[in-house]
Amino acid sequence: MPDQHESASILNGLRLCLPVAISVAAYGLVWGVLAGQAGMTVAEVAAMSALVFAGASQFVALELWAPIPPVWSLIAAALAVNLRFVLMTATLRPLFGHLPKRAALWRMHLIADETWAIGMAEVAKGRDGAAAMIAGGLLLYVTWVTSTVTGRVLGTGLEDPTRWGLDFAFIAVFLALLVSLWRGIGDLLPWLVAGGVAVAASLVVPGKWYIILGGLAGSLLGAWQSTRKQAP
Amino acid sequence: MTPEAALAIAGMALVTYGVRAGGFLLSAYIPQSGFAAAWLRHLPGAMLAAIVAPGVLTGGPVEAAAAVLTVVTAILTRNLFAAMAVGTIAVWLGRSVLPLI
């Protein structure tokens, strides 16, 4: 049974991730509707959402889906879109390194952009980021699977979420998390470079590569800055 | 479910879990001090900046104004939900009201 401190951290994580879960539910419904139009069955929708659990790559998969799906193209596209997770979970050793390997490894399936960012922001405040990340991850997982299946079953008749500004909800969450990660003026240049490279890359490279390219450029510059300062 | 659909979903699941678990497993071999450690410390902020920048800067005046409101709300309140609500409502108002004026 979890102790009081741990259950408080779990509740805190659920509370932090609730607004994100609302946006995820809206997108899950839309993805489910589109999956139906692309010809996916209810079982395929449920299997993909539960086993892949990565929204961006699932949207890309719909572009490729066909009565006889192109297996290798779908796998290659999922790899390209989700490669950014390598950089995210590479930062998680301080949070999950103390767990038995198997316990740490199943938790990796629950890592999503939003919950990862919320957890890292909790760590920056000196709180239990691991509990927030996993509690929020479970909430988003259940939300994603149920909302995509619901969208597939209900079919059409759902409105475009961009009309309600829900596409901006994700950007707003990430912006607010960025504010909470601010540690001082030393962050400014790496973040500007990360953003600049990302914008440039998003105009010329397809998919989600801009996140990897911008993130690498900014973080390498930041690492160079801070190690240069320490050197005599 | 056709065999191709089952294979495609299984393959997508495998590579996606592979990158999620792979980053964590690889991090055991990354030194805990020096340049590599500093790089991992800078990664979250840089990744977030890279995620938001295209949406904010190539979106248009409504998105840019909403982004400023979101950041100001986040700085003042330190509250994720408040910042998200202000940003989303600003975009909704901008998109639905501005075209009517």
Q: What is the mean pLDDT of residues A151-168?
A: 73
A189 shares a domain with A171: no
Q: For residues A48 and A31, what is the distance between their CA atoms, to the nearest angstrom?
A: 12
A173 shares a domain with A191: no
Look up residue A165 and give its amino acid.
G
**Cβ(A18)–Cβ(A115) under 8 Å?**
no
A229 shares a domain with A206: yes
Chain B's closest residue to A117, CA to CA, is B44
A55 shares a domain with A19: yes
Chain A residue numbers touching B63 (CB-CB < 8 A): 168, 171
A141 shares a domain with A66: yes
Q: For residues A197 and A47, what is the distance between their CA atoms, to the nearest angstrom?
A: 35
CB contact under 8 A, A92 and B2: no
Average pLDDT of chain A, as a whole number: 87
* Overall number of domains in chain A: 2
A227 shares a domain with A146: no
Helix (H) / strand (E) containing B65? helix B61-77
Q: For residues A66 and A4, what is the distance between their CA atoms, to the nearest angstrom?
A: 50
CB contact under 8 A, B46 and A57: no
pLDDT tens figures, A47-77: 999 999 998 789 878 878 989 998 998 998 7
ipTM of the complex: 0.84
Nearest to A159 by CA among A27, A11, A70: A27
pLDDT tens figures, B12-65: 999 999 999 999 999 888 787 789 888 888 888 898 899 889 988 888 899 999
Q: What is the mean pLDDT of residues A145-174?
A: 80
CB contact under 8 A, B26 and A48: no
The parent domain of residue A215 ranges over 183-232
A199 shares a domain with A154: no
Q: For residues B16 and B42, what is the distance between their CA atoms, to the nearest angstrom?
A: 24
Q: For residues A185 and A223, what is the distance between their CA atoms, to the nearest angstrom?
A: 14
Chain B residue numbers touching A78 (CB-CB < 8 A): 11-12, 15-16
CB contact under 8 A, B16 and A82: yes
A220 shares a domain with A175: no
A189 shares a domain with A169: no
Q: For residues A181 and A160, what is the distance between their CA atoms, to the nearest angstrom?
A: 32
Q: What is the DSSP letter of B27?
A: G
A160 shares a domain with A206: no
pLDDT tens figures, A10-32: 888 898 888 889 888 887 888 89
The domain boundary residue, chosen from A181, A196, A212? A181
Range B31-38 contact pairs with CB under 8 angstroms and sequence separation of 24 or more: B34/A227, B35/A223, B35/A224, B35/A227, B36/A223, B38/A222, B38/A223, B38/A226, B38/A227
Structure confidence at residue A158 (pLDDT)? 59
- Residue of B4, B7, B15 to mutate when probing chain A, most A C-beta within 10 A: B15
A176 shares a domain with A118: yes
Q: For residues A209 and A82, what is the distance between their CA atoms, to the nearest angstrom?
A: 9
A80 shares a domain with A26: yes
Cα atoms in the 13 Å half-sphere on the side-chain side of B11 = 18
- Residue of B2, B16, B71, B78 to mutate when probing chain A, most A C-beta within 10 A: B16
Chain A residue numbers touching B39 (CB-CB < 8 A): 219-220, 222-223
